Structure 1
Amino acid sequence: MTDDPDELPTPQAVVPQVAEMRLVVTAEDYNAALAFYRDTLGLPERAAFSSDGGRVTILEAGRATLEIADPPHAAYIDQVEVGHRAAGHIRVAFQVPDAAAATRRAELAGATVVKEPVVTPWNSLNARLEGPAGLQLTLFEELG
Protein backbone atom coordinates (compact mmCIF):
# COMPACT_ATOMS: atom_id res chain seq x y z
CA MET A 1 0.00 0.00 0.00
CA THR A 2 1.21 3.47 -0.76
CA ASP A 3 0.62 6.90 0.69
CA ASP A 4 1.13 8.52 -2.71
CA PRO A 5 -2.32 9.83 -3.78
CA ASP A 6 -1.36 9.35 -7.43
CA GLU A 7 -0.94 5.61 -6.86
CA LEU A 8 -4.18 5.02 -4.96
CA PRO A 9 -7.16 3.59 -6.86
CA THR A 10 -9.76 6.11 -7.94
CA PRO A 11 -13.19 5.78 -6.30
CA GLN A 12 -14.66 4.54 -9.59
CA ALA A 13 -12.16 1.65 -9.65
CA VAL A 14 -13.05 0.42 -6.17
CA VAL A 15 -15.75 -2.25 -6.04
CA PRO A 16 -17.47 -2.31 -2.63
CA GLN A 17 -16.81 -5.59 -0.86
CA VAL A 18 -18.41 -4.74 2.49
CA ALA A 19 -22.19 -4.99 2.85
CA GLU A 20 -22.47 -3.93 6.50
CA MET A 21 -20.33 -2.52 9.28
CA ARG A 22 -20.83 -3.65 12.87
CA LEU A 23 -19.13 -1.95 15.76
CA VAL A 24 -18.90 -4.66 18.43
CA VAL A 25 -18.74 -3.37 22.01
CA THR A 26 -17.96 -5.64 24.94
CA ALA A 27 -19.84 -4.21 27.93
CA GLU A 28 -19.23 -5.38 31.48
CA ASP A 29 -22.71 -4.09 32.36
CA TYR A 30 -24.59 -5.52 29.38
CA ASN A 31 -28.05 -4.53 30.65
CA ALA A 32 -27.08 -0.90 31.29
CA ALA A 33 -25.38 -0.57 27.91
CA LEU A 34 -28.33 -2.17 26.11
CA ALA A 35 -30.83 0.09 27.90
CA PHE A 36 -28.77 3.19 27.10
CA TYR A 37 -28.26 2.56 23.38
CA ARG A 38 -31.64 0.92 22.69
CA ASP A 39 -33.97 2.80 25.03
CA THR A 40 -32.27 6.18 25.55
CA LEU A 41 -30.76 6.75 22.10
CA GLY A 42 -33.58 4.83 20.39
CA LEU A 43 -31.56 2.36 18.33
CA PRO A 44 -34.04 -0.34 17.20
CA GLU A 45 -33.24 -3.94 18.05
CA ARG A 46 -32.54 -6.04 14.96
CA ALA A 47 -31.69 -9.37 16.63
CA ALA A 48 -30.62 -10.89 19.91
CA PHE A 49 -28.78 -14.13 20.58
CA SER A 50 -27.49 -15.99 23.59
CA SER A 51 -24.72 -18.48 24.17
CA ASP A 52 -23.69 -20.51 27.17
CA GLY A 53 -23.97 -17.76 29.78
CA GLY A 54 -23.60 -14.87 27.33
CA ARG A 55 -25.78 -12.50 25.32
CA VAL A 56 -25.50 -10.21 22.34
CA THR A 57 -27.99 -7.75 20.87
CA ILE A 58 -27.62 -6.18 17.43
CA LEU A 59 -29.00 -2.65 17.24
CA GLU A 60 -29.71 -0.67 14.08
CA ALA A 61 -27.87 2.63 13.97
CA GLY A 62 -29.01 3.97 10.63
CA ARG A 63 -26.44 4.44 7.91
CA ALA A 64 -22.94 3.56 9.04
CA THR A 65 -19.75 5.18 7.83
CA LEU A 66 -16.15 4.60 8.80
CA GLU A 67 -14.43 7.91 9.44
CA ILE A 68 -10.65 7.65 9.42
CA ALA A 69 -8.76 10.60 10.87
CA ASP A 70 -5.05 11.12 11.35
CA PRO A 71 -3.93 12.18 14.86
CA PRO A 72 -3.74 15.92 14.05
CA HIS A 73 -7.30 15.99 12.70
CA ALA A 74 -8.62 13.88 15.59
CA ALA A 75 -6.99 16.39 17.96
CA TYR A 76 -8.62 19.25 16.02
CA ILE A 77 -12.08 17.64 16.35
CA ASP A 78 -11.50 17.17 20.09
CA GLN A 79 -10.39 20.80 20.38
CA VAL A 80 -13.58 22.00 18.65
CA GLU A 81 -15.95 19.71 20.55
CA VAL A 82 -14.28 19.54 23.98
CA GLY A 83 -11.48 22.11 24.16
CA HIS A 84 -8.67 19.54 24.59
CA ARG A 85 -7.66 16.07 23.48
CA ALA A 86 -10.27 13.76 24.99
CA ALA A 87 -11.02 10.71 22.84
CA GLY A 88 -8.97 7.59 22.47
CA HIS A 89 -8.48 6.01 19.08
CA ILE A 90 -12.21 5.20 18.77
CA ARG A 91 -15.11 7.61 19.16
CA VAL A 92 -18.69 6.83 18.10
CA ALA A 93 -20.76 9.64 16.59
CA PHE A 94 -24.55 9.48 16.31
CA GLN A 95 -26.53 11.97 14.24
CA VAL A 96 -29.65 12.96 16.18
CA PRO A 97 -32.49 15.37 15.40
CA ASP A 98 -31.90 17.48 18.54
CA ALA A 99 -28.41 17.34 20.06
CA ALA A 100 -29.32 19.29 23.21
CA ALA A 101 -32.33 17.09 24.02
CA ALA A 102 -30.43 13.89 23.21
CA THR A 103 -27.61 15.03 25.49
CA ARG A 104 -30.05 15.59 28.37
CA ARG A 105 -31.65 12.16 27.84
CA ALA A 106 -28.25 10.49 27.68
CA GLU A 107 -27.10 12.24 30.85
CA LEU A 108 -30.26 11.22 32.71
CA ALA A 109 -29.64 7.64 31.56
CA GLY A 110 -26.15 7.62 33.07
CA ALA A 111 -23.81 9.03 30.42
CA THR A 112 -21.26 11.58 31.57
CA VAL A 113 -21.34 14.86 29.67
CA VAL A 114 -17.78 15.74 28.71
CA LYS A 115 -18.83 18.89 26.87
CA GLU A 116 -22.22 20.48 26.27
CA PRO A 117 -23.33 20.96 22.64
CA VAL A 118 -21.21 23.42 20.65
CA VAL A 119 -21.62 24.76 17.12
CA THR A 120 -18.76 23.44 14.99
CA PRO A 121 -16.99 24.98 12.00
CA TRP A 122 -18.70 22.33 9.85
CA ASN A 123 -22.12 23.68 10.88
CA SER A 124 -23.35 21.04 13.26
CA LEU A 125 -24.22 21.10 16.95
CA ASN A 126 -22.00 18.53 18.69
CA ALA A 127 -21.99 17.26 22.27
CA ARG A 128 -19.38 14.93 23.71
CA LEU A 129 -20.22 12.26 26.26
CA GLU A 130 -18.72 9.23 27.93
CA GLY A 131 -21.23 6.44 27.42
CA PRO A 132 -21.67 2.94 28.80
CA ALA A 133 -18.85 0.47 28.20
CA GLY A 134 -16.37 3.36 28.12
CA LEU A 135 -17.30 4.59 24.66
CA GLN A 136 -16.57 8.23 23.89
CA LEU A 137 -19.67 9.53 22.07
CA THR A 138 -20.47 12.52 19.92
CA LEU A 139 -24.15 13.36 19.55
CA PHE A 140 -24.46 15.69 16.59
CA GLU A 141 -27.24 17.63 14.90
CA GLU A 142 -26.77 18.92 11.36
CA LEU A 143 -27.72 22.60 11.33
CA GLY A 144 -28.19 22.95 7.60
Structure 2
Amino acid sequence: MSALQLRLVLETDDIDAALAFYRDALGLPVQEAYEAEGDARVVILGIPSATLEIANRSQIDYIDRVEVGRPAAHAYPLTMRVALEVADAGAATDAAVAGGAQLVAPPTETPWRSLNARLEGPDGVALTLFQELEQSEGDGA
Protein backbone atom coordinates (compact mmCIF):
# COMPACT_ATOMS: atom_id res chain seq x y z
CA MET A 1 0.00 0.00 0.00
CA SER A 2 1.14 3.53 -0.74
CA ALA A 3 -0.69 6.58 0.56
CA LEU A 4 -1.79 8.94 -2.19
CA GLN A 5 -2.73 11.94 -0.05
CA LEU A 6 -2.30 13.29 3.46
CA ARG A 7 -5.20 15.13 5.08
CA LEU A 8 -4.98 16.62 8.52
CA VAL A 9 -8.49 17.08 9.85
CA LEU A 10 -8.96 19.99 12.23
CA GLU A 11 -12.11 19.70 14.33
CA THR A 12 -13.35 23.14 15.29
CA ASP A 13 -16.43 24.69 16.84
CA ASP A 14 -15.99 27.85 14.73
CA ILE A 15 -15.36 26.90 11.10
CA ASP A 16 -15.70 30.51 9.94
CA ALA A 17 -12.90 31.66 12.28
CA ALA A 18 -10.71 28.75 11.16
CA LEU A 19 -11.35 29.66 7.50
CA ALA A 20 -10.56 33.30 8.20
CA PHE A 21 -7.20 32.15 9.57
CA TYR A 22 -6.11 29.31 7.26
CA ARG A 23 -7.79 30.45 4.02
CA ASP A 24 -7.68 34.22 4.37
CA ALA A 25 -4.67 34.99 6.61
CA LEU A 26 -2.41 32.13 5.48
CA GLY A 27 -3.69 32.04 1.88
CA LEU A 28 -4.51 28.33 1.57
CA PRO A 29 -6.85 27.91 -1.41
CA VAL A 30 -10.18 26.09 -1.16
CA GLN A 31 -10.14 22.81 -3.11
CA GLU A 32 -13.51 21.42 -2.08
CA ALA A 33 -16.36 22.31 0.27
CA TYR A 34 -19.40 20.32 1.37
CA GLU A 35 -22.45 20.88 3.53
CA ALA A 36 -24.81 18.29 4.97
CA GLU A 37 -27.79 18.05 7.28
CA GLY A 38 -27.63 19.50 10.76
CA ASP A 39 -25.29 22.39 9.83
CA ALA A 40 -22.47 19.93 8.97
CA ARG A 41 -19.69 21.65 6.97
CA VAL A 42 -16.26 20.78 5.73
CA VAL A 43 -13.86 22.85 3.65
CA ILE A 44 -10.75 21.21 2.21
CA LEU A 45 -7.85 23.61 1.74
CA GLY A 46 -4.99 22.76 -0.59
CA ILE A 47 -1.27 22.73 -0.03
CA PRO A 48 0.91 21.85 -3.06
CA SER A 49 3.08 19.40 -1.14
CA ALA A 50 2.82 17.59 2.17
CA THR A 51 5.08 15.36 4.21
CA LEU A 52 4.57 13.40 7.39
CA GLU A 53 7.38 14.27 9.78
CA ILE A 54 7.87 11.71 12.55
CA ALA A 55 10.12 12.83 15.40
CA ASN A 56 10.96 11.41 18.81
CA ARG A 57 10.66 13.42 22.04
CA SER A 58 14.40 14.31 22.02
CA GLN A 59 14.10 15.83 18.54
CA ILE A 60 10.94 17.71 19.55
CA ASP A 61 12.79 19.12 22.57
CA TYR A 62 15.73 20.09 20.34
CA ILE A 63 13.46 21.84 17.82
CA ASP A 64 11.78 23.71 20.67
CA ARG A 65 15.16 24.94 21.93
CA VAL A 66 16.18 26.07 18.42
CA GLU A 67 12.89 27.70 17.40
CA VAL A 68 11.65 29.04 20.73
CA GLY A 69 14.57 28.92 23.14
CA ARG A 70 12.61 26.88 25.67
CA PRO A 71 10.23 23.92 25.82
CA ALA A 72 7.06 24.86 23.97
CA ALA A 73 5.47 21.71 22.55
CA HIS A 74 4.32 20.65 26.01
CA ALA A 75 2.27 23.83 26.33
CA TYR A 76 -0.13 22.71 23.60
CA PRO A 77 -3.09 20.42 24.20
CA LEU A 78 -2.29 18.53 20.98
CA THR A 79 0.46 16.01 20.35
CA MET A 80 0.99 17.29 16.84
CA ARG A 81 2.37 20.50 15.35
CA VAL A 82 1.48 21.64 11.83
CA ALA A 83 4.41 23.04 9.84
CA LEU A 84 3.75 25.03 6.67
CA GLU A 85 6.45 26.13 4.24
CA VAL A 86 5.97 29.74 3.16
CA ALA A 87 7.87 32.00 0.78
CA ASP A 88 8.42 34.74 3.39
CA ALA A 89 8.36 33.70 7.05
CA GLY A 90 8.22 37.29 8.30
CA ALA A 91 5.27 38.32 6.14
CA ALA A 92 3.43 35.04 6.76
CA THR A 93 3.94 35.40 10.52
CA ASP A 94 2.59 38.95 10.41
CA ALA A 95 -0.43 37.78 8.41
CA ALA A 96 -1.04 34.88 10.78
CA VAL A 97 -0.91 37.14 13.84
CA ALA A 98 -3.19 39.67 12.13
CA GLY A 99 -5.51 36.74 11.38
CA GLY A 100 -5.76 35.73 15.02
CA ALA A 101 -2.75 33.53 15.78
CA GLN A 102 -0.72 34.05 18.94
CA LEU A 103 3.00 34.49 18.40
CA VAL A 104 5.04 32.01 20.43
CA ALA A 105 8.40 32.84 18.83
CA PRO A 106 9.33 35.12 15.90
CA PRO A 107 11.08 33.82 12.76
CA THR A 108 14.37 32.29 13.90
CA GLU A 109 17.14 30.90 11.70
CA THR A 110 17.71 27.20 12.38
CA PRO A 111 20.86 25.10 12.00
CA TRP A 112 19.17 23.32 9.08
CA ARG A 113 18.97 26.61 7.13
CA SER A 114 15.35 27.57 7.47
CA LEU A 115 13.64 30.52 9.07
CA ASN A 116 11.00 29.19 11.48
CA ALA A 117 8.28 31.02 13.39
CA ARG A 118 6.20 29.32 16.05
CA LEU A 119 2.57 30.27 16.60
CA GLU A 120 -0.58 29.02 18.21
CA GLY A 121 -3.41 29.04 15.73
CA PRO A 122 -7.17 28.91 16.22
CA ASP A 123 -8.35 26.24 18.62
CA GLY A 124 -4.84 25.86 20.07
CA VAL A 125 -3.21 24.29 17.01
CA ALA A 126 0.60 24.34 17.33
CA LEU A 127 1.91 25.88 14.12
CA THR A 128 5.33 26.45 12.58
CA LEU A 129 5.69 28.68 9.52
CA PHE A 130 9.03 28.01 7.86
CA GLN A 131 10.97 29.51 4.99
CA GLU A 132 13.75 27.48 3.40
CA LEU A 133 16.85 29.66 3.11
CA GLU A 134 18.96 29.39 -0.01
CA GLN A 135 22.28 27.65 0.47
CA SER A 136 25.31 29.83 -0.05
CA GLU A 137 27.96 28.77 -2.52
CA GLY A 138 30.25 27.76 0.36
CA ASP A 139 27.79 25.21 1.73
CA GLY A 140 28.98 22.56 -0.70
CA ALA A 141 25.52 21.33 -1.59
Q: What is the TM-score of this pair, normalised by structure 1?
A: 0.86
**1:133 deviation in Å?**
2.1
- Distance in 2 of aligned mates of 1:64 and 1:109: 23
Moved runs in structure 1, 4+ residues, more than 6 A?
none
2:63 counterpart letter in structure 1: I
Counterpart in the other structure of 2:96: 106
Unaligned runs of 5+ residues in structure 2 are 135-141
2:59 counterpart letter in structure 1: H
**1:50 deviation in Å?**
1.0
What does 1:73-88 correspond to in 2, within 5 Å?
Answer: 73-87=59-73, 88=78
Greater C-alpha Rg: 1
- Distance in 2 of aligned mates of 1:72 and 1:133: 26
Are residue 40 (structure 1) and residue 64 (structure 2) matched? no
Unaligned runs of 5+ residues in structure 1 are 1-15
Counterpart in the other structure of 1:19: 4
Identity of matched residues, %: 53
Counterpart in the other structure of 1:92: 82
Q: What is the TM-score of this pair, normalised by structure 2?
A: 0.88
Counterpart in the other structure of 1:119: 109
After superposition, the CA RMSD in angstroms is 1.0
Deviation digits for residues 28-60 of structure 1 (CA, Å, limit 9, x no counterpart)? 111010111011111110000112211000000
Aligned length: 129
